[in-house]
Amino acid sequence: MLGDEALALGALHAGLSGVYAYPGTPSTEITEYIQASPLARDRKVHCQWSCNEKTAMEAALGASYAGKRAMVCMKHVGMNVCADAFVNSGVTGASGGLVVVACDDPSMHSSQNEQDSRFYAEFAMVPCLEPSNQQEAYDMVRFAFDYSEMYHTPVLMRLTTRMAHSRAVVKTGEMRDENPLRFPEDQKRWVLLPAVARVRNEQIIKQYAQYEEDSEKGNVLSGPKAEMGVIACGIGWNYLMENIEGEPSFPTLKVTRYPVSKKQVRELASMCKTILVVEEGQPLLEKALRGYLPVYNEIKGRLDGTLPRTGELTPDALRKALGMDDKETCSKSEVAVPRPPALCMGCGHRDFYTALNMVVKDYPTARVFSDIGCYTLGYLAPFHAINSCVDMGASITMAIGASESGVHPSIAVIGDSTFTHSGMTGLLDAVNMGANITVCISDNLTTGMTGGQDSAAFGRIENICLGIGVPKEHVRLIIPLPKNYEEMQKVIREEIEYRGVSVVVCRRECIQTAKRHLKKQ
């Protein structure tokens, strides 16, 4: 099974009562596995998608309050969305086991940055686990629930793309029952008034030192003294072992738990002169080791170029870092050219962009602020239709700011699922400010880019816009098909000409989900 699936199954076997999540590559398959699981169905495990990562995190915290085991899953940038809830859940602590899963995407296969979620754990003073293989993903999530209940703290589990989306055989353990409904004994810590939070802060700082000591039981120090030692985190360990034959002939520290014990690191440092730090993502541990003052050992890693500063680790990058020779291969071909992803043939976004481009060409000062989803591919040839893509919901709010700064027409392009994730509050701002923007909601009736999950406001987009206060005559519907190009242009043009907030809903089912629905029939 995939690393994602192994983790999902481990959570179910640990007595999970609910998974709360918003789809995002590479985390989506965790929740999808639970949605398809007969065990989850029998146990009525909650597994419906949430509107966004913040609502997911808070709902899971509520389940934990009630004594149940709950899990939150998201891609790394989802941690930004739920950061308020996550960091403060570190202060309230958990009651029922609470595991937060963040799937990082180094190399940005399907993301806009390569932020490293381990920083969030450190920031919130929450213990963090990083499995190195699929079996550990299964085993560790079970441990994470126990540990969460032992210390009444949320536990962050960090996966990266290669772990999340790679398959291996996993041996399963026993099945545990769900927790009964049980109110927390310590009611006070759930009300974060300053007086309460100050007390909690002291407690958490003490507990964090305990996590560090506990990590010695999970992180493994081994190997004989040598010139160079290696600290390998998460799947970095696999790439190390791939490159050496048999057991290492040098000291190693395999890290799967954070905060890492200073005692263990010092012990490793006493066994070697040079330390190579191998971590997937950003150089969190390497930076801590280097500090600001001189250290006795020479530290190597991503910061000195021994390993690449950006991008995901590979066995080849580690081979080079270990000073080993390349293996003989076939020579690289100069003939192969990149094949970037593109909007599917027959996709409604294509027809929408075609019509939008026809209108926009008459307005040389027009700017199109777009958002996160399949329609971001409208940036590429042949459309070149958008000017920005930043974060979930930023289309509408950036259009507001640009419009108030003198940009006209200021057009936002956002998908249905992204609109309900983080676009609705921006639309309320626009209405309250009387912003002169045209919001195009390209509604494909699903969450397309992650593979067609349910969209939160299916069939209710217009009503939401009306409820937020967009005038009825300026909430328009168009159907993106080539035969409608003329009408589509007319509607978009009219709404650009209207001085105020208008919404153009552009609705046609995602071609991928439509195919699936057709097959089912």
CA gap 139, 117 in Å, rounded:
20
Residue with tokens 């790439």: 239
Instruction: Figure out which of the listed residues 336, 405, 473, 520 binds another protein, where binding follows CB under 8 A.
Output: 336
Q: Return the number of the residue (331 or 405) whose C-beta is nearest another protein.
A: 331
Residue with tokens 């390497």: 286
Q: Which two tokens stand for residue 347?
A: 């996709």
What is the Rg, in whole angstroms, of the alpha carbon atoms belonging to the chain? Answer: 25
Note whether 251 and 274 are within 8 A (CB): no
Binding of another protein at residue 374 (CB under 8 A)? yes
Q: Return the number of the residue (169 or 293) whose C-beta is nearest another protein.
A: 169
The torsion angles phi and psi of 447, rounded to 5 degrees, stand at: -95, 95
Least CB distance to another protein at residue 292 (A): 35
Candidate segments 197-205, 239-247, 289-297, 414-422, binder of another protein by CB under 8 A: 239-247
Candidate segments 7-15, 26-34, 289-297, 390-398, binder of another protein by CB under 8 A: 26-34
Binding of another protein at residue 518 (CB under 8 A)? no
Binding of another protein at residue 339 (CB under 8 A)? yes
Closest CA to 349 of 259, 442, 430, 284: 442
Binding of another protein at residue 242 (CB under 8 A)? yes
Candidate segments 35-43, 213-221, 234-242, 271-279, binder of another protein by CB under 8 A: 234-242
Pairing assessment for the beta strands 228-233 and 410-415 based on DSSP bridges? unpaired
CA gap 461, 417 in Å, rounded:
10
CA gap 237, 231 in Å, rounded:
8
Q: Return the number of the residue (132 or 438) whose C-beta is nearest another protein.
A: 132
Least CB distance to another protein at residue 27 (A): 10
Candidate segments 200-208, 444-452, 462-470, 490-498, binder of another protein by CB under 8 A: 444-452
Those residues whose C-beta lies under 8 Å from the C-beta of residue 378, and which sit 6 or more positions away, are 343, 349, 353, 370, 385, 386, 413
Binding of another protein at residue 316 (CB under 8 A)? yes
The packing angle between helices 83-92 and 194-214, to 10°, is 80
Candidate segments 41-49, 66-74, 167-175, 220-228, binder of another protein by CB under 8 A: 167-175
Binding of another protein at residue 235 (CB under 8 A)? yes
Surface-to-core class of residue 128, CB atoms within 10 Å of its CB (0-12 exposed, 13-18 middle, 19+ buried):
buried
The torsion angles phi and psi of 513, rounded to 5 degrees, stand at: -70, -30
Binding of another protein at residue 520 (CB under 8 A)? no
Note whether 6 and 157 are within 8 A (CB): no
Least CB distance to another protein at residue 337 (A): 5
CA gap 377, 392 in Å, rounded:
15
Instruction: Figure out which of the listed residues 43, 66, 87, 165 binds another protein, where binding follows CB under 8 A.
Output: 165
Least CB distance to another protein at residue 9 (A): 16
Instruction: Figure out which of the listed residues 187, 381, 473, 518 binds another protein, where binding follows CB under 8 A.
Output: 381
Candidate segments 56-64, 250-258, 324-332, 409-417, binder of another protein by CB under 8 A: 324-332
Note whether 272 and 247 are within 8 A (CB): no
Binding of another protein at residue 366 (CB under 8 A)? no
Least CB distance to another protein at residue 274 (A): 23
Q: Return the number of the residue (147 or 383) whose C-beta is nearest another protein.
A: 383
Binding of another protein at residue 185 (CB under 8 A)? no
Q: Return the number of the residue (242 or 497) whose C-beta is nearest another protein.
A: 242
Candidate segments 39-47, 85-93, 449-457, 483-491, binder of another protein by CB under 8 A: 449-457
Q: Which two tokens stand for residue 74?
A: 């998201």
Closest CA to 448 of 418, 413, 482: 418
Binding of another protein at residue 169 (CB under 8 A)? yes
Binding of another protein at residue 395 (CB under 8 A)? no
Q: Return the number of the residue (62 or 315) whose C-beta is nearest another protein.
A: 315
The 3 state secondary structure assigned to 91-150 is HHCCCCCEEEEEEECCCCCCCCCCCCCHHHHHHHCCCEECCCCHHHHHHHHHHHHHHHHH
Binding of another protein at residue 323 (CB under 8 A)? no
Least CB distance to another protein at residue 264 (A): 22
CA gap 122, 204 in Å, rounded:
12
Residues making contact with another protein (CB under 8 A) = 2, 25-26, 28-29, 109-110, 162-163, 165-169, 235, 237-239, 241-243, 314-316, 319, 326-344, 374, 377, 381, 449-451
